[in-house]
Structure 1
Amino acid sequence: PAKEVGGDLYDFFFIDENRLCFLIGDVSGKGVPAALFMAITKTLLRTEAKHGLSPEEVLSRVNDTLVPDNDACMFVTIFCAVLDVRTGKVEFSNGGHNPPLVLRAGTFEYMQVPKGFVVGAMEGIKFTKGEYTLDPGDVIFLYTDGVTEAMNPEDELFSERRLKEYFSKLTDRSVEEIVEGVKDEIKLFVRDREQSDDITMLALKFRGKRR
């Protein structure tokens, strides 16, 4: 985290023996208030997803739970997805978060994801569902904007363009090496500039359909 406590969140867990939920999020603000809002949001997300709801239903229910007591007017961006390990099918919903990158056949491309509305700001928001099918060997890389908005001493952003360009060097790496590689590349880019935002990354590799 950029400070002593952070407002980014990520999680992954099996809903049942065949469906894996994975998600990432970024709370507005910094410090203790953001960390508390993050902890509440993460608990709500896991609880609703464990009920077997679709990703868009999860975001809608979490949104409507957060809004009434949100006196600080905080919000959170969330990308929430469920992978069926039998088929490679991914159902997802996006609440204002950065689009994931997908490695397929040696090339990283941004997943085509509707931007969606942030979570926790307004009641009654209806989130939409998207679908994507993974092939064996595909990698999904999720991240918060602390990655692309990392800034060097010349006030240049690391940017989505630089992230994708760097990924062209990582097409044969493990998910652990991908995450560590991006972290090291950001350190080289920002040099001695102080980190201003939390940086969170999550990478998953689909090894093939489970029979």
Structure 2
Amino acid sequence: MHRIRCSEIWGGIQNADLDVCTSGVTASLYSQACDGGRGGDIYFFSVCGSDRLTRIAIADVAGHGAAISALSRGIFDSLAARMNTLEGNGVLTDLNAVVAQQGFMSMTTAAVIGFYLGDGQLYFSYAGHPPVFVRRRGAADWQPIQLASPTVPGNLPLGVLDDTAFDQETLPLRPGDRLFLYTDGVLEAPAPDGAQFGEERLRAALDAAGNGELSCLKQGVLDALRAYTGGSLAHDDVTVMAMEVRGGK
């Protein structure tokens, strides 16, 4: 278990399969590039100076090389600058500027969430990214966390519009509630006939995983993906993260 401490930022673009924790959450992470090296998925955790705010940023870049390195650095810099604030959507605004400056030609989506021990709230924002899933402690099923009142047009993939608005909304969480983050490589995993895995199969895999350890939940989704594709995850970069709230109101 890797412990992320106050005023620390951890993550990047490297392949990973491990458990991490902060004062607010425990998580089990898997990230694998389709070519076996450093890929187009980015993940970062940050913890504020008072050890009360855990923020997670996840991004999916349709490309590798200089584009992924520039965005990874941009995420790190923005998380560092905004470590002690609740405005996670500001991270997306910063990244949108990075993408615009780089002139990225590939689709880039991102999600930023933060759990604050002070009020037990999840703060969440999306930039064209598939929604985070939540399962309440004791509940039987998982549900997507959608923006209730999104700005239109807004919350677009990074770099589409220079002045895109990124909304932030909140959701109350309690100890034992679980979250699941992922990139498009999960939804777009193809069956031998080309049909994609999709959101409904993901939800079914999450429901079927039960109430076991986070690592088992993560592995259950990966097993479902491999069963669907015929054994391979080489179609795209794949990142999944199963999380559980440790503290809060």
Q: TM-score, normalised by structure 2?
A: 0.76
Name the structure where strand makes up a greater proportion of residues.
2
Compared with structure 1, are the counterparts of its residues 44 and 182 closer, same or farther at alpha carbon in structure 2 (3 Å cutoff)?
same
Aligned-pair CA distance for 1:192: 4.7
1:152-188, Cα deviation, whole Å (9 max, x unpaired): 2111211111111111112312211111111111111
Q: Residue type of the partner of 2:207?
A: S
1:152·1:190 contact (CA, 8 Å) conserved in 2? yes
Provide the residue aligned with 1:87 in structure 2.
119
2:55·2:114 contact (CA, 8 Å) conserved in 1? yes
Which of 175, 198, 201 is the matching residue for 2:237? 198
Aligned pairs, number: 208
Which of 95, 98, 107 is the matching residue for 1:62? 95
The answer as to 2:205 corresponding to 1:173 is no
**Structure 2 gap ranges (5+):** 1-32
Q: TM-score, normalised by structure 1?
A: 0.88
Compared with structure 1, are the counterparts of its residues 169 and 72 closer, same or farther at alpha carbon in structure 2 (3 Å cutoff)?
closer
The 2-side partners of 1:53 and 1:19 are apart by 8
Aligned-pair CA distance for 1:53: 5.5
1:25·1:77 contact (CA, 8 Å) conserved in 2? yes
The 1-side partners of 2:81 and 2:106 are apart by 20
1:128-164, Cα deviation, whole Å (9 max, x unpaired): 1111111221101000010111002111211111111
Name the structure where helix makes up a greater proportion of residues.
1
Provide the residue aligned with 2:79 in structure 1.
46
1:56·1:93 contact (CA, 8 Å) conserved in 2? yes
Q: Secondary structure at the match of 2:142?
A: strand
The 2-side partners of 1:142 and 1:176 are apart by 14
Aligned-pair CA distance for 1:52: 2.4
2:173·2:248 contact (CA, 8 Å) conserved in 1? no
Provide the residue aligned with 2:57 in structure 1.
23
Q: Residue type of the partner of 2:65?
A: V
1:136·1:206 contact (CA, 8 Å) conserved in 2? yes
Which of 99, 112, 119 is the matching residue for 2:146? 112
Which of 95, 110, 126 is the matching residue for 1:78? 110
Provide the residue aligned with 2:129 in structure 1.
97
Provide the residue aligned with 2:46 in structure 1.
13
Provide the residue aligned with 1:125 in structure 2.
164
Aligned-pair CA distance for 1:8: 0.4
Aligned-pair CA distance for 1:21: 0.5
**Structure 1 gap ranges (5+):** none
1:79-121, Cα deviation, whole Å (9 max, x unpaired): 1011112332011111110001111123211112358211234
Range that drifts further, 39-48 or 4-13: 39-48
1:106·1:172 contact (CA, 8 Å) conserved in 2? no
| CA RMSD between the two structures | 2.1
Q: Residue type of the partner of 1:182?
A: V
Q: Residue type of the partner of 1:64?
A: A
